[in-house]
Amino acid sequence: MDMLKGEQIAEANLTDWRKLAQGLHARYVIDDFGTGARFVAAVGEAGDAVGHHPRVSMGKGYVDFKLVSDDAIYRDAEGTEYVVEWVTQQDVDLARRITEIAADHQVDADPASVSDIELGLDTARSATIAPVWAALLTGSADAQGRGTPSDEIRDATGRVPNLWFGDADEHEASGQRFHIEVYVAPEAAEQRIAAAVAAGGTVVDDSDAPSLTVIADQDGNKGIVCVDTSAATKDRTVD
């Protein structure tokens, strides 16, 4: 299936879900483990019926889902096709079905609390260093370029955060090359940034806000609060 653009995801108006990084994310609040287990079992049956399933994690008081297709089709400006990890129509359809199941099980969504973490590493030699990081993070060379046309490292089982490579001048003086990217729901970004500043952080670059806001700690280490504004419905878009 073709990957969906941000505006297509926004038009789907998935009230329980937020687009973070490559996938759709939802968190549901549960009263006890049994309720969560029955909810997940019902979602599993719905996934079996269509041959597509979410990634699931469950803890005390919550069930988290991530929906992403491993075989989405991306076309570049020249029309070349790539198989990538991204949201497709099957993810949107299953997200709607999970919302219905949640209502049947009287489980409430908490969409503002979803979050996703990725690692960024600035380098001028991603093709050279990527195999090292693929081996260190996942133990497999297959993780390099998996689900992406770039050298990004993605573990098929989701054990570790994705590692993507940003551009850096080969002759640039050494400094911080790693940074953390924190994907949050649009309505949560302002509070997340304010909390970091209140804790002693500093906004060092908000020129691309609300999509990207760079925060530095007292030692100058940087993290980025990320929001996919393209996939946000109008009433959730951050100004």
Q: What is the mean pLDDT of each run of 10 residues along the chain (239 residues)?
A: 96 97 98 96 98 97 98 94 97 98 98 97 91 93 93 93 87 73 96 94 96 92 94 68
Q: What is the pLDDT of residue 173?
A: 59
Report yes or no: 15 and 98 within 8 Å, Cβ to Cβ.
no
Torsion sign (Cα): 92, 190, 114, 35: negative
Q: What is the C-alpha separation between 28 and 64, in angstroms, rounded?
A: 6
Determine if the peptide bond prior to 186 is cis (ω within 30°).
no
Neighbours of 50 (CB within 10 A): 11
CA distances from 82 to 89, 100, 150, 153, 195 (A): 17, 33, 10, 16, 39
Cα distances (Å, whole numbers) of residue 223 to 41, 162, 210: 37, 15, 14
The reported pLDDT for the residue numbered 168 is 81
The whole-number pLDDT of residue 221 equals 87
Handedness of CA 209, 145, 119, 73 (dihedral sign): positive
pLDDT of residue 49: 97
Q: How far apart are the first and last CA of the chain?
A: 32
pLDDT at 69: 98
- The answer to whether the CB of 122 falls within 8 A of the CB of 129 is no
Q: How far is CA 199 from CA 203, 209, 211, in A?
A: 12, 20, 22
